[in-house]
Amino acid sequence: MVISISVITKDSGTCSEFRINPRFTLFQNKFQKPAGKKNVLSEHQNIADRTLQNQLAEQCANHGIEINKEELHELILFQEYISRHVNYSVVRVVQCMFLWAEWVRFFKKHTRDFPRIILEKEFRDLIVQHFNPRVDEDGFLGSVYTGITFVP
């Protein structure tokens, strides 16, 4: 595939054409995977994802909750979100709405959809259940979690 760009100059009215070939041989080796070698890290990640899926599905089945594939995926993404972006912190506070908005942003980045199970109230309940922060009312910031922080 060749991308063609035409440029017309103002003073002479002539047309210049530039052709861009996206398959640069200069960068080709940087983006290709070496032949014959498997990506071991992605294999371990797939195994970890499958075991987490199995654990969550088993927990739901034990509680008598029916769960479909999309809901299971949302729960896995939530688990990934809190493990990556929420940490304990004795001296910091984080706005409840900020943490919720970052969850929605994280979810939309991975699925291009809005969360269906873990909405604002459920999110707050899960954060309180998992991290046990104190939810305080700040006059300037609004509702805040004390004892946790957001890690970008």
Within-domain flag for 104: yes
Within-domain flag for 33: no
Within-domain flag for 52: yes
Q: In angstroms, what CA-CA distances link 32 with 2, 27, 29, 85, 115? A: 20, 9, 5, 31, 35
Within-domain flag for 96: yes
Cβ–Cβ under 8 Å, residues 17 and 5: yes
User: Which pLDDT belongs to residue 124?
Assistant: 94
Within-domain flag for 85: yes
pLDDT at 104 over 90: yes
Within-domain flag for 34: no
Average pLDDT, the chain: 75
Within-domain flag for 35: no
User: Which pLDDT belongs to residue 71?
Assistant: 86
Within-domain flag for 97: yes
* Domain of 110, in residue numbers: 3-28+43-150
User: Which pLDDT belongs to residue 91?
Assistant: 87
Total number of domains in the chain = 1
Weakest-pLDDT range from 20-34, 73-87, 88-102, 127-141: 20-34
Rounded-to-integer distance, Cα 91 and Cα 71, Å:
35
